[in-house]
Amino acid sequence: MPDLSSSQPVAADVVIAFIGAGNMARSLIAGMRSQGLPGRQLRVADPFAAVREALARDTGAVAAASNAEAVAGARVIVLAVKPQVMAQVCRELVPALTGDPVIVSVAAGIDSAQLDAWLGGDRAVVRAMPNTPALLRAGATGLFANARCSTDDRALAGQLMAAVGNTVWIQDEDLMDVVTAVSGSGPAYFLRLIEAMQTAAVERGLSPEAARQLVLQTAFGAARMALESDESAGELRQRVTSPGGTTAAAMDMFSQRQFEDLVDAAIGAAHERGQQLRQQARETEGSQRQ
């Protein structure tokens, strides 16, 4: 599916309401503001007045006294609360929902059918799986829209998440668990490689600061090369690996120690754990309802 995220500016009559004024809401609001969206089109609710007012003051968004006040007439409703409180937040919102808003959840592991049921059914729901670099507007977000979403709903949700990084639409919701295992948990994998490289550099005599600078800039440069090139990561790697050279020696060791198998098993473990956690959350929710 084409990414419609940046195809057109958000219309002047569109109000985006954020439920929860935490880290993710702050990044999304700051991202939308930096793209020129007026603060009056962004509303934010949070149980703590000081929290919502600080976010409003810092970003120019409008603080709403309650979740119901925030969503009144909103075209987009962003559920930016922790997964544990999501069911309650959704159920309490139902009487306040008017019109036909698109509801975007950034909570990990809660599927669109669950959200739709908590929201009273027949709702346009988009599930977004951002990762932590979204807080620096360098995130990678997988997006899934349920069948109820219109083209406009998808475009609005895409634009919202594009304010904090790159977006990829996923057609099959089951694959959101793979997104979680790859990009949701992924920053930690790269950070672990960075850590290991720094340790190896220090063990061989570099100062911790020199190791840090060299490894971090190398990680950044490699990602930038891959992002900006038309060649695949594999092609780029081969181009920087001269036969018989130092890089080739390291690559041979990666192969001998079955690096690809290790990465595949690690992502497999994250995928499986995500599925288990989702199942457990469903069972807990089911038992609480009985």
Footprint on this chain of ligand NAP (rule: CB under 6 A): 19-25, 45-48, 51, 67, 80-83, 85, 89, 106-108, 130-132, 134-135
Pairing relationship of beta strands 139-145 and 124-129 according to DSSP bridges: antiparallel
CB closest to ligand NAP, residue no? 22
Distance CA 155, CA 1 (A): 11
Q: Exposed, middle or buried by CB within 10 Å (0-12, 13-18, 19+), for 251?
A: middle
Q: Which is nearer to ligand NAP, 28 or 215 (CB)?
A: 28
Q: Could you tell me the smallest distance in angstroms from the CB atom of residue 130 to ligand NAP?
A: 5
Q: Which is nearer to ligand NAP, 107 or 149 (CB)?
A: 107
Q: Could you tell me the smallest distance in angstroms from the CB atom of residue 268 to ligand NAP?
A: 21
Q: Could you tell me the smallest distance in angstroms from the CB atom of residue 28 to ligand NAP?
A: 9
Query: Long-range contacts: 267-274, Cβ < 8 Å, 24+?
Result: 267/181, 267/182, 268/181, 270/180, 270/181, 270/185, 271/177, 271/178, 271/180, 271/181, 274/108, 274/109, 274/177, 274/180, 274/181
Q: Which is nearer to ligand NAP, 25 or 145 (CB)?
A: 25
Q: Which is nearer to ligand NAP, 70 or 145 (CB)?
A: 70
Q: Could you tell me the smallest distance in angstroms from the CB atom of residue 32 to ligand NAP?
A: 15
Residue 206 neighbours by CB distance under 10 Å: 16
Q: Could you tell me the smallest distance in angstroms from the CB atom of residue 150 to ligand NAP?
A: 24
Q: Could you tell me the smallest distance in angstroms from the CB atom of residue 86 to ligand NAP?
A: 7
Distance CA 75, CA 11 (A): 10
Q: Which is nearer to ligand NAP, 55 or 211 (CB)?
A: 55
Q: Which is nearer to ligand NAP, 85 or 222 (CB)?
A: 85
The amino acid occupying position 243 is P
- Torsion angle of C-alpha atoms 48, 74, 117, 166, degrees rounded to 10: -90
The amino acid occupying position 119 is L
